[in-house]
Structure 1
Amino acid sequence: MKKILMVLTSHSAMDNTDGKTGVWLGEFTDPYYEFIDAGYQITLASPKGGRPPVDPMSELTEHVTGSNRKYNDDEVAKTAFSQTQVLNQIRSDDYDAVFYPGGHGPIWDLAQDNNSGILILDFLDAGKPVAAVCHGPAALISAERQRPGFLNGKIISAFSNTEETLVGRSGNVPYLLQTKLEEFGADVKTALVPFLSHVEKDGLLITGQNPLSAGPTAKALINFLDETAEARRSPEIA
């Protein structure tokens, strides 16, 4: 059985406000069902384990996706979400790829989580892809801290400074993700128009810009895994 690990944030507090954050639900559900429909077995993990916080804004009617509605009627998925494994118990050897959904939470916990940073490097060193969307690429910062220079020259996408300003949360975060990634030497590519879908692939890294990019980023990861599997089979066929 093909296996994908999804790593979710455990962080819910925003800076300078009583507002909450957490997992942006559609950035979990859109990829989750892409993976399920493609025949992958999914394991969910988070720094603290258990049920991750969900950004309340992502549950508002205007942000609800078809996959959100599917999730609300899916007891198996809801149980898995409420019982995520503790991240420090996860081994990259057990999975074919890892995917990091966003929500603002990762810029606090996953960006600093040593276990996550080591895990990302373990996947990449083993030739396995790492995908992330929106604020999920903040997890790459921990990999950078584990291996200085890791992000230098990497072409990635992530939630843009413009989008952060437009959603009104630029004053409630410790740093702007695009700026932070660029400070480490990453080349951050974004859509010409804010909030449109945008995906970048650089070697084993597959990253998406915003919530609308979550499904396309998952599809890009699936395509990469399919192409890799096909390439491995081809010599045998020949």
Structure 2
Amino acid sequence: MDNPIILSQWLPDRPYWSAEKFLREMEAYNNALDEVQKDLEQYDALLIVGGSGPIVDLVNNHRVHDLILSFYKKGKAIAAECYGVTCLAFARDLADRKSIIWGKHVTGHCKEYDYKDGTGFVGADINMGPPPYPLEYILQDATGPDGAYHGNFGKEISVIVDYPFITGRSTADSYTTGQKVVEVLDKGLRRYGW
């Protein structure tokens, strides 16, 4: 924690589509991402934390998406919890624009667990309001016809492993999500919870 990695310094800024020198900027962007791939050798897995915070600063952050895609291309484990799972749905290769969880099984906040206005807080005095999107629907669409979203409504814990992804429905599932990450890394677990 004393030396955090700052994504804006580590990952390149994606070129703007209407940039005057878009072709050259895109080449430089892809070259920089290739360098990040080399940096990832030292890491075993990526964890995207949940809660309502990811809605604000992770879900639509292309650098976060590029980090996820870099781990994905390396075949490394990727875990996400609660609204952090949305990052997986939106992480898409620019070539085909298909979600990396297409054909996979995942969990995340289901409609029954969505909070109402006044119940989701970012800080002591900041009312996040209700979620701006139903995560369940996003995950159903992102997994496609050969994958599946599992809300597991009414079950105390919902954690799904469909390698390389480990997903937890809510922050209450974080301990079990962590246990499954360890089992993926130490015991080769590839499927769990569905």
If the length of structure 2 is used for normalisation, what is the TM-score?
Answer: 0.66
Match of 1:119 in 2: 67
| 1:113–1:142 Cα contact (<8 Å) kept | no
1:78-117 mapped onto 2 (5 Å cutoff): 80=1, 84-88=4-8, 89=10, 91=36, 92-117=40-65
Deviation per residue, 1:205-235 (Å, 9 max, x gap): 000111221011011011110024xxxxxxx
Match of 2:33 in 1: none
RMSD: 2.6
| 2:50–2:84 Cα contact (<8 Å) kept | yes
Give yes or no for the alignment of 1:217 onto 2:177.
yes
Match of 2:148 in 1: 187
| 2:79–2:177 Cα contact (<8 Å) kept | yes
**Aligned residue pairs, count:** 148
Give yes or no for the alignment of 1:157 onto 2:107.
yes
Deviation per residue, 1:165-193 (Å, 9 max, x gap): 46855963221111122222362112231
| 2:114–2:131 Cα contact (<8 Å) kept | no
Q: Percent identity?
A: 27
Q: Which runs of 5+ in 1 are unaligned?
A: 1-79, 229-238
AA paired with 1:191?
N
Please report how far the alpha carbon of residue 157 of structure 1 lies from its aligned counterpart in structure 2 after TM superposition: 0.7
AA paired with 2:183?
N
AA paired with 2:171?
P
Residues 83, 177 of structure 1: alpha-carbon distance in 2 compared, 3 angstrom cutoff:
farther
Deviation per residue, 1:41-64 (Å, 9 max, x gap): xxxxxxxxxxxxxxxxxxxxxxxx
- In the alignment, the residues of structure 1 paired with residue 116 and residue 154 of structure 2 have an alpha-carbon distance, to the nearest angstrom, of 12
| 1:107–1:139 Cα contact (<8 Å) kept | no
- In the alignment, the residues of structure 1 paired with residue 3 and residue 67 of structure 2 have an alpha-carbon distance, to the nearest angstrom, of 20
Q: Which runs of 5+ in 2 are unaligned?
A: 12-35, 121-127, 189-194
